[in-house]
A and B are shown apart, each in its own frame.
Chain A
Amino acid sequence: MSATIMCVDDELNLLRLYEQVLAEDGFRVVSARSGAEALGKIHAQPIDLVVLDIKMDNKDGLDVLREMKMENPDLPVILHSAYSTYKSDFKSWLAVDYLVKSADLTLLRARIRELLGVDD
């Protein structure tokens, strides 16, 4: 059974990109457009990995990260942000990785496969 990845971002088109690209890689993708929606959906079904944006309306991605990790400490979360500055924020250290958004998603895809133990 393929792993389920939750993508959390307030950019709709970006979510659609993730859905397309990660689906091509054989993953099941669950999208959430806000931190609140993500926290709601995470209880509803098993999630294997989260790709989480930081700067979102309402709930900050770092706060969502903390709550997710409190619920499930073993859940791998990749912070995927347009900003590099939050790397120095210790709250981001809860994530397994911090990647800066790029048009080239190769690095993101490689890291997801690595964390989920999926061959190339």
Chain B
Amino acid sequence: MCAYHSNPTEPSTGKSERQTPMASTLTQFDRIPVAIFATDNDGEIFYTNDRFLQIVDHNSSAVDCCHALADLENLLSTELIRPARQAIEHRTTFESGQFIFAGAGGRYYLLSISLSPLMLDDICYGVFGTLQDFTETADASESLRRRIKELNTIEEISQALHSTMKTDDILRIILTGATCKEGLGFNRAFLFLLNESENCLEGKMAIGPSNAEEAGRIWGEIPPGTRTLSEVLAAYLQNVANHDIEVNRIARSLKIDLSAPTVFRQVMESGHWCNIDSLSEAVIHDTGVLQALNTHRFAVVPLLSRGKSIGVILADNLITGKQTENNTVHLLQIFADHAASAIENARLFEEIEVKAASLEKANLKLEQVQKQIAAIEKSSLMAEITYKIAHELRNPITIIGGFAALLNRNLNPADKLSEYGRIIVEETLRVEKALAEVLNFSKSFALDRVRCDLWEIVAATIDVLEQTHSPVTIELDPDDGKSPLYVRVNRDQTVQSLHDIIEAVGSCLPDSTPIRLRLGNSETAQRIELHWQIEPEAHERVTSLLAEMLDTRATGSSLRLTLAFETVRYNGGEPGLAASAAQDKYLFIEYPAMEE
């Protein structure tokens, strides 16, 4: 077997001289997409097809580029001669592993070569070789691998976004995903949101270093061993998010006017991303914001929600200066789409939270009102029943008392029956009095509470006292300016109860002792005070008399004070006894102040 090397001293001979009987058979492979070549038993290449020439980047036949297997071995930098000999001698097929071949023009190929004995009728004519091109498959695999990584990244971001309803956390997740190496790997990312009322974009947040040192510090705080994007996001949110990094401060200070024709307005209006890659382009679009960010190569993507732009993300590689590929910007757009959706959901959630809190408050108030209504209805019904019963009882009481009095008049006073008659008359009158007091209490029970001025109520009460020729003397402390003291009460009930209280107090005091009425207020309550001036030793007696009045086992007049106090409480007030600075006792009635 001759050498498999071409002899450069030998003049190249024409192809026809080297043609073997196989050559014509091999012509069927001329156009197939697999690179084919054939050598004779001496290692001389006598056949190549078009694909082979394409790969080795030559327009002519093998004789002009590779005369012998040795030439091919040199060209491909892959051992071929020994395997070819083995294939011929042992009638075996050799397959190489994949190797990279740098073709002319800088094109790289991923190839593998196989050598088989070229047999015909059991005669070996040489070696049949195929050059398999895996370049496209490898490219496709790489592309697929990258795509899978992108999808995984999107999936992780999406999951992270779904884990929170807080707008700030959502913004941090998006920007971290854009900047960490497990994500898109931008150096910096800035997020701007639309302020519709001012027609501008407001900087909300940014992530990324101002310089390489800060870059090391920021990402150095992520614990080692965190590999997935989810882990990085979690670690970032925990460790770094609280640091007020410089870019964040810059971002929050920025406002982009959308009335100016800038790249930001263009992106917002068109809904399409923009990849600015040159200074000149950046200068055209500069609004001063780019100066503040110190960047002229950046990508801007819109945040689109329901077909409308709600903001933009600006990302750049200021620190590394790495060029941003459109593919990466496209991925950033996918991030932004997720972000916009999450931001809108978070805003909606926050709105719902506020409304829910407001509804909760309203619900509590409604519950209170319902309870009050139920109480009023119950009281109203009771009042109605009481009212009817009281009136129905009046007739029989009139009859009983009347006949008892008649009987008494016709009896001898010394007669025991006369005493019985007198008792019947007295007790009948007592029942009648109690009925009258109950009727006074119940008749206005079901009426509404309205805003009333305590000054007006006091004036009305004094009128009633005068009209009924009450023996009680009233003095009213003047109020400077007489500012209204608003409360929410039933006016008639309040006048009635105040009237009854004044009468009750008056009945305990020595004759002609005036009662001084004083009105005042605190932050939360309005107050009527009843003061009287008596000898110190008489105070205790008056107090105990009032206390007795509240004892329902006492005489008929006690019902009046008890009912009056109950009326005050029913209207939300509280009566009580207090002592002044000079230790004089006085009675007060306090109502919750009503907001104006």
Which residues of A does B touch, CB under 8 Å?
11, 13-14, 17, 20-21, 24, 82-85, 100-105
**Interface residue from B395, B403, B406, B428 paired with A101 (Cβ < 8 Å):** B395
B398 at the binding interface (Cβ < 8 Å):
yes
Asked if A20 and B406 sit within 8 Å, CB to CB, the answer is: yes
- Chain B proximity of A96: nearest CB distance (Å): 20
Asked if B443 and A102 sit within 8 Å, CB to CB, the answer is: no
Q: Most chain-B Cβ atoms within 10 A of its Cβ — which of A24, A100, A103?
A: A103
B400 at the binding interface (Cβ < 8 Å):
yes
B425 neighbours in A (Cβ, 8 Å): 103-104
- Chain A proximity of B395: nearest CB distance (Å): 5
B393-411 to A contact mask, C-beta < 8 Å, 1/0: 0110111111111100100
B391 at the binding interface (Cβ < 8 Å):
yes
B429 at the binding interface (Cβ < 8 Å):
yes
- Chain B proximity of A33: nearest CB distance (Å): 13
**Interface residue from A17, A85, A101 paired with B443 (Cβ < 8 Å):** A85
In B382-432, which residues have CB < 8 Å from any A CB? 391-392, 394-395, 397-406, 409, 425, 428-429, 432
Asked if A17 and B398 sit within 8 Å, CB to CB, the answer is: yes
Docked pose: A109 CA to B284 CA in angstroms: 110
B439 at the binding interface (Cβ < 8 Å):
yes
- Chain A proximity of B368: nearest CB distance (Å): 32
- Chain B proximity of A17: nearest CB distance (Å): 4
**Can you name 9 extra interface pairs (CB under 8 A) apart from A85-B443, A103-B425, A103-B429?**
A11-B399, A13-B399, A17-B399, A83-B391, A84-B439, A100-B394, A101-B398, A102-B432, A104-B401
Given A82-B394, A101-B395, A103-B425, A17–B406 Cβ distance below 8 Å? yes
A13 neighbours in B (Cβ, 8 Å): 399, 403
Asked if A102 and B401 sit within 8 Å, CB to CB, the answer is: yes
A101 neighbours in B (Cβ, 8 Å): 394-395, 398
Given A20-B406, A21-B406, A102–B391 Cβ distance below 8 Å? no
Docked pose: A104 CA to B425 CA in angstroms: 8
Docked pose: A113 CA to B428 CA in angstroms: 25
Asked if B398 and A102 sit within 8 Å, CB to CB, the answer is: yes
**Interface residue from A11, A82, A100, A104 paired with B405 (Cβ < 8 Å):** A104
Docked pose: A11 CA to B391 CA in angstroms: 13
| Tally of contact residues, B, Cβ under 8 A | 21
In B338-397, which residues have CB < 8 Å from any A CB? 391-392, 394-395, 397
**Interface residue from A14, A83, A85, A104 paired with B399 (Cβ < 8 Å):** A14
B391 neighbours in A (Cβ, 8 Å): 82-83
Total inter-chain residue pairs, C-beta < 8 Å: 53
B397 neighbours in A (Cβ, 8 Å): 103
The 7 closest A-B pairs by CB, nearest first: A103-B401, A82-B394, A103-B428, A17-B402, A101-B398, A82-B391, A13-B399
B435-457 to A contact mask, C-beta < 8 Å, 1/0: 00001000100000000000000
Docked pose: A37 CA to B401 CA in angstroms: 27
Task: Give 19 pairs: A residue, B residue, CB < 8 Å, sorted on A.
Answer: A14-B395, A14-B402, A17-B402, A17-B406, A21-B406, A24-B409, A82-B392, A82-B394, A82-B395, A85-B443, A101-B395, A101-B398, A102-B401, A102-B432, A103-B400, A103-B425, A103-B432, A104-B405, A105-B402
B409 neighbours in A (Cβ, 8 Å): 24
- Chain A proximity of B580: nearest CB distance (Å): 39
Docked pose: A19 CA to B429 CA in angstroms: 21
A20 neighbours in B (Cβ, 8 Å): 403, 406
B395 neighbours in A (Cβ, 8 Å): 11, 14, 82, 101
Docked pose: A102 CA to B399 CA in angstroms: 9
Q: Which residue of A lies closest to B392 (CB)?
A: A82
Q: Which residue of A lies closest to B391 (CB)?
A: A82
Docked pose: A87 CA to B391 CA in angstroms: 15
A104 neighbours in B (Cβ, 8 Å): 401, 405, 425, 429, 432
- Chain A proximity of B583: nearest CB distance (Å): 43
Docked pose: A83 CA to B403 CA in angstroms: 21
B405 neighbours in A (Cβ, 8 Å): 103-105
Q: Which residue of B lies closest to A85 (CB)?
A: B443
B398 neighbours in A (Cβ, 8 Å): 14, 17, 82, 101-103, 105
Q: Which residue of B lies closest to A101 (CB)?
A: B398
Docked pose: A36 CA to B401 CA in angstroms: 28
A103 neighbours in B (Cβ, 8 Å): 397-398, 400-402, 404-405, 425, 428-429, 432
- Chain B proximity of A106: nearest CB distance (Å): 9
Docked pose: A104 CA to B394 CA in angstroms: 12
Q: Most chain-A Cβ atoms within 10 A of its Cβ — which of B401, B402, B425?
A: B402
Docked pose: A18 CA to B401 CA in angstroms: 12
B432 neighbours in A (Cβ, 8 Å): 102-104
- Chain A proximity of B541: nearest CB distance (Å): 31
A84 neighbours in B (Cβ, 8 Å): 439
Q: Which residue of A lies closest to B393 (CB)?
A: A82
Docked pose: A75 CA to B464 CA in angstroms: 32
- Chain B proximity of A87: nearest CB distance (Å): 12
Docked pose: A17 CA to B432 CA in angstroms: 17
